[in-house]
């Protein structure tokens, strides 16, 4: 979501005549888009701010802005902590900065070719905020309650993107499965997918993140039947133990989760599943952690994002439960899960050796083209031709737990 917000802000600044530069030293305006989902993310922002301070002292005309989830309603506190920052903007509330940037840019030359084309893949937020209040999570406090964008607005935006070269959209939300419940006609995500699937020139549609308690059969069937909707579902489980799931307030049991995965897999052949897991939640025993290990081994996800529990001030968990799993133990559990998942991903990806996959090419890295399969696997290949934004066929010749390499067979 932060990446999507940053892209949008960069694009609006680009329209005003601003250009991106590689280093803060060369910039007139520096914006930090912060994440505070874990302490480590917050520390990174604080360090970056500390590093920018001397530059601001040397060049008082440099404008510094902080946005993202670090900015809550108590901006006074942030102002006294970081007095050298000029703007504090709550997530997506960029208007004060844009107004200022517009005034400052009146002397700038508009770039006439901007924005003639966009990258082949882009994010489209469809629902903001979250109503779930999982006990560990800061998101509902910083991004507010759920607010869906009207379907017509999203469709218009995607049509416009496609006109400017976009081939793939990823619909974004903390919980995309609850899309539409707050809109007058109560459309749902399946209805939106159905409409977007008809847009000519659009090749692929993805969505994330799904919530296991809200995923409907209708949505699963929409993914199976709509040709542009990719066979990839991000379905965070968070823990493999029912007691822990209950104190996390996730709203489902492991039995329900497994039943859902079975239904997804039987309805959508070759679907790729990814998940998120938190280890070291307050009072998580070794045995409870073992249940998570068992689940990961049993369900064999394509990707597992593992995080060590990090208490977030203001959340229910930080108020009610002691953060009592030692850091070393959290790290050991995280590494154990990552090791297990690395082997599983290696095995799953090795199954693609020799197969021909369809890749949407997103760009070039270290001289090689890179893109993704419909199942979200990263693929690298070499070609002298300009493949950007093309759907190509690649024969897989080498696999690893994280990516695939192959030979271009059809352009
Ligand atoms: N809405 C999604 C869901 O329901 O899982 C994910 C949103 S959250 C911003 C992204 C991931 O960060 C979560 O899946 C979770 O694993 C992790 N996360 C959130 N709060 C955390 C915390 N306090 N400590 C560690 N990891 C956390
Ligand atoms: Fe956070 Fe839970 Fe909402 Fe996801 S569903 S954003 S984890 S509160």
Pick from 258, 252, 196: nearest CA to 229? 196
Q: Read off the pTM.
A: 0.95
pLDDT of residue 116: 64
Q: Note the helical H segments in 197-326.
A: 217-225, 242-248, 254-267, 286-299, 316-320
pLDDT of residue 371: 98
Which residue lies with its CA nearest to atom 1 of ligand 2? 137
Task: In whole angstroms, give the CA distance from residue 74 to residue 225.
Answer: 47
Task: In whole angstroms, give the CA distance from residue 376 to residue 33.
Answer: 26
Residues of the chain with pLDDT under 50: none
pLDDT of residue 73: 84
Pocket test for ligand 2, best of 137, 177, 281 (most atoms within 8 A of CB): 137
What's the gap in Å between 167 CA and the centre of ligand 1?
Answer: 29
Task: In whole angstroms, give the CA distance from residue 396 to residue 404.
Answer: 7
Which residue lies with its CA nearest to atom 7 of ligand 1? 174
What's the gap in Å between 211 CA and the centre of ligand 2?
Answer: 9
The closest-lying atom of ligand 2 relative to the alpha carbon of residue 209 is: 4
Task: In whole angstroms, give the CA distance from residue 72 to residue 167.
Answer: 35
Q: What is the mean pLDDT of the chain?
A: 95
CB of 251 within 6 A of ligand 2: the answer is no
CB of 175 within 6 A of ligand 1: the answer is yes
pLDDT of residue 117: 76
From residue 401, alpha-carbon distances to 294, 295, 362, 374 in Å are: 20, 19, 20, 17
pLDDT of residue 105: 79
Pocket test for ligand 2, best of 125, 130, 312 (most atoms within 8 A of CB): 130
pLDDT of residue 216: 97
């Amino acid at each position: 979501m932060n990446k999507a917000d940053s892209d949008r802000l960069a694009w609006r600044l680009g329209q005003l005549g601003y250009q991106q530069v590689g280093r803060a030293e060369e910039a007139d305006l520096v914006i930090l888009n912060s994440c505070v989902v874990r302490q480590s993310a917050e520390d990174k922002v604080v360090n970056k701010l500390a590093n920018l301070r001397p530059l601001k002292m040397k060049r008082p005309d440099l404008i510094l802005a902080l946005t993202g989830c670090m900015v809550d309603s108590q901006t006074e506190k942030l102002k006294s902590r970081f007095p050298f920052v000029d703007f504090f903007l709550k997530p997506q509330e960029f208007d004060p900065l844009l107004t200022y940037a517009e005034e400052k840019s009146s002397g700038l030359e508009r770039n006439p070719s901007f924005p003639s084309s966009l990258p082949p893949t882009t994010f489209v937020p469809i629902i903001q905020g979250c109503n779930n209040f999982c006990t560990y999570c800061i998101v509902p406090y910083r991004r507010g309650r759920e607010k869906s964008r009207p379907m017509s607005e999203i469709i218009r935006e995607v049509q416009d993107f496609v006109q400017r070269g976009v081939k793939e959209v990823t619909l974004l939300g903390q919980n995309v499965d609850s899309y539409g419940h707050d809109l007058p006609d109560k459309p749902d995500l399946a209805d939106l997918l159905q409409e977007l699937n008809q847009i000519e020139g659009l090749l692929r549609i993805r969505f994330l993140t799904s919530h296991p308690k809200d995923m409907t059969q209708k949505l699963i069937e929409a993914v199976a039947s709509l040709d542009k909707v990719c066979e990839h579902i991000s379905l965070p489980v968070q823990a493999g133990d029912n007691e822990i799931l209950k104190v996390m307030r996730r709203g489902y049991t492991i039995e329900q989760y497994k039943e859902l995965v079975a239904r997804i897999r039987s309805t959508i052949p070759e679907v790729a599943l990814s998940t998120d897991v938190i280890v070291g939640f307050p009072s998580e025993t070794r045995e409870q952690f073992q249940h998570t290990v068992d689940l990961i081994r049993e369900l064999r996800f394509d990707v597992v994002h593992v995080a060590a529990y990090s208490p977030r001030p203001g959340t229910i968990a930080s108020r009610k439960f002691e953060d009592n799993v030692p850091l070393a133990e959290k790290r050991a559990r995280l590494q154990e899960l990552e090791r297990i998942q690395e082997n599983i991903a290696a095995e799953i990806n090795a199954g693609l050796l020799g197969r021909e996959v369809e890749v949407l090419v997103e760009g070039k890295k270290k001289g090689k083209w890179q893109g993704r399969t419909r199942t979200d696997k990263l693929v690298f290949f070499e070609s002298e031709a300009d493949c950007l934004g093309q759907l190509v066929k690649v024969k897989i010749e080498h696999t690893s737990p994280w990516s695939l390499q192959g030979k271009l067979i059809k352009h």
